[in-house]
Structure 1
Amino acid sequence: MAVSLLILTDFFQAANRALDYASNLAGAIGARLVLLHVRRDSVLDPEMFTGQLSNLSKEAIDLALSSVAHNLAVPVVAEIGHGRVAYAVADAVSRHHPALVVLGRPDYSDMPDELVQSTSLDILRTSPYPMLVVPHTLASTKPPRRLLLAVDGEDFSLGEHAGAARRLLAALDAELTVLHVATRPTPAEPDPAVWDSVLQTGLAVDLPTQVHTRTVRYRSAAEGILQVARPEEFDLVVLIARPRSFLGQLFHQSVTAQVLLRSPIPVLVLPAAE
């Protein structure tokens, strides 16, 4: 079965930027796109009151999807889902088994983080799956060549997604830097346990170039990651999201949520296994 990327679109700016990014990524790794538009027609949808939802008719959506698919340079399948996005995504994932779910991050600059009920966070809570979030401010949609993998130093497993994640990183032919943000005093040299936690997953096995390691000291892990993950140095930041980080009631305070909401570069979230 050919590798596929599931891309969400609502035809707004953020989704269009993510679609450009996903199509370039698909071309680089030889994948097809599954283009999913979800008609969020439930009155209980929290974003029904924010003006962030498309209210196009089914005919208009069909026409828009056909037009978008026609202009893409990679193979594409277009679908329409209904209801909550997280449930529609879970259904599409069960049928297409994509390597990634890709979506755009809208402009939340005028909303407190605590009030943001973004689609990416909802998907992580409902059906954890490898997810790529593309900010609407992204300047370039070229495939990433400089990857930053942020780890906490504890052992982790990617479970059923380990193989797909390893193949994706290898196919990108990119340079990988493993980052550990030390929130407590630590020696200047990288802790070997940090590197061991990555080695045990096999993520670095098929990479074509040497993997670099980097340790920085910061009071907040999220702030440390955001300070390092600048567009001048990196094209993509990879996070390992542990279940405790996205299932808790104070999810907006987790490292995953803060980086997702504020990163200037795309964020690839790899959910860790239980």
Structure 2
Amino acid sequence: MTPSLLILTDFFRAADQALAYATNLAGPLGARLVLLHVRRDSLLDPEMFTGELSDLSKEATALALSRVADNLAVPVVVEIGHGRVAFAVADAVSRHHPLLVVLGRPDYSATPDQLVQTTALDILRTAPYPMLIVPHSVASNAMPRRVLLAVDGEDFTLGLHAGAIRQLVRMLGVELTVLHVAPDSAAAVSEEQVLNSVRRTGVEIDLPAPLHFRRTVATRPADGILQLAQSRDTDLVVLLARPRSFWGKLFHNSVTAEVLLHSTVPVLVLPTIA
């Protein structure tokens, strides 16, 4: 079965940037693109009041999607969904089983974090699935080679997604650095414990180089991750979204949510079972 990447588009800048990034990924992965536009007319839409929504007619939307598809250098399937985006994505995922869901992150710099109800967070709550979020400001669509995997040292499993993620990192030939952020040096778990939590998933199998390890001390884990994510030797940040992150009352204060909103490089979110 040909692998696929599911791309959300609304024809705005952030979505266009995500599409360009995903198109470059599709080549080495031998993947096709599933280009999904959702007509967002639900009052439950998380960006109905805080984000830009396309108001194109159904006919104009179909024509715009056709033009976008015609300009892509990889195989593409076009679909139009309706209603709440998270539900439309869940439906498309159930039929196409993509490696990843890819979407752009608009510019939220003028909006307080507490008021940002992003599509990415809504999807993670409603239908957790491996998701790549591409910031609107990403300047390069080059393949990610230097990948920063942020972990907490606790064991985790990726469940049904483990094989797809191993395929992704292997085919891209990434250099994987495992990052552990500790509140202070005395509280840090051992390097071996952190690396073993990753090795047990099999993610590093067949990588061209062994796992690297970095530790940083920060009172707030998101601050430590964002600091290293902004360095010039990081192309992609990988986060683990544990189930407790989805349902907690303080979801917007979670590490996942904060890094998603503020990272200057693409972020791959991997839902875990534990």
Q: Which residue of 2 aligns with 1:111?
A: 111
Q: Which residue of 1 aligns with 2:255?
A: 255
Structure 1 runs, 4 residues or longer, greater than 6 Å off = none
Identity score, percent: 68
- What is the 5 A alignment of 1:86-165? 86-165=86-165
Q: Which residue of 2 aligns with 1:10?
A: 10
Q: Which residue of 2 aligns with 1:42?
A: 42
For 1:48, what is the secondary structure of its paired residue?
A: coil
Relative to the length of structure 1, the TM-score reads 0.97
Q: Does structure 2 retain, via aligned residues, the 8 Å contact 1:190–1:215?
A: no
Match of 2:159, as an amino acid?
G
Match of 1:3, as an amino acid?
P
Match of 1:120, as an amino acid?
A
- Counterpart CA distance in 2 for 1:189 and 1:254 is 21
- Counterpart CA distance in 2 for 1:45 and 1:234 is 33
Residues 148-157 or 175-184, more deviating: 175-184
1:25 aligns with 2:42: no
For 1:6, what is the secondary structure of its paired residue?
A: strand
Q: Does structure 1 retain, via aligned residues, the 8 Å contact 2:47–2:119?
A: no
Q: 1:80 to 1:224 in 2, by over 3 A?
A: same
Query: Cα offset for 1:174?
Result: 1.3
Match of 2:72, as an amino acid?
L
Q: Does structure 1 retain, via aligned residues, the 8 Å contact 2:45–2:85?
A: no
Query: Cα offset for 1:48?
Result: 2.7
Q: Which residue of 2 aligns with 1:211?
A: 211
Q: Does structure 1 retain, via aligned residues, the 8 Å contact 2:46–2:118?
A: no
For 1:49, what is the secondary structure of its paired residue?
A: coil
Q: 1:164 to 1:49 in 2, by over 3 A?
A: same
Query: Cα offset for 1:188?
Result: 8.7
1:78-98 CA distances to partner (integer Å, 9 max, x unpaired)?
000000000000000000000
Match of 2:116, as an amino acid?
V
Q: 1:188 to 1:87 in 2, by over 3 A?
A: closer
Match of 2:135, as an amino acid?
P
For 1:186, what is the secondary structure of its paired residue?
A: helix
Unaligned stretches of 5+ residues in structure 2: none
Q: Does structure 1 retain, via aligned residues, the 8 Å contact 2:46–2:119?
A: no
Q: 1:44 to 1:156 in 2, by over 3 A?
A: closer
Q: Does structure 1 retain, via aligned residues, the 8 Å contact 2:100–2:130?
A: yes
Unaligned stretches of 5+ residues in structure 1: none
What RMSD over aligned residues (CA atoms) do the two structures have, in Å?
A: 1.4
Aligned residues between the structures: 274
